[in-house]
Amino acid sequence: MFFTSSRSDMFYECMVRAITGTSFHPVGTAKIGAPGDVMAVVDPRLRVYKVDGLRVADASVMPSIPSANTQAACYMIGEKAADMIKEEWNL
């Protein structure tokens, strides 16, 4: 069988490194927050601070890691971004 005592620790370490992965949902790399928040990258309207014409509308704006899958939240962020852009352009 595959998992036998004849395999070395080095073999198992190599196997684990080669065939495992994470199931994390990275968030928070472009945190949304108030202008006074030194960790915030994006304002409440998803505009990047100090960069004209750039918005971020994905999981990276979430200020903390949710306890569930991020797919539905990403859809909501995208829909809200679309609504805010249409509002600003009077569409």
Residues annotated as catalytic (active site), given as ranges: 25
Distance CA 3, CA 58 (A): 41
Cα angle 66, 70, 73 (rounded to 5 degrees) comes to 95
Which runs of consecutive H residues, i.e. helices, occur in the chain? 9-19, 71-88
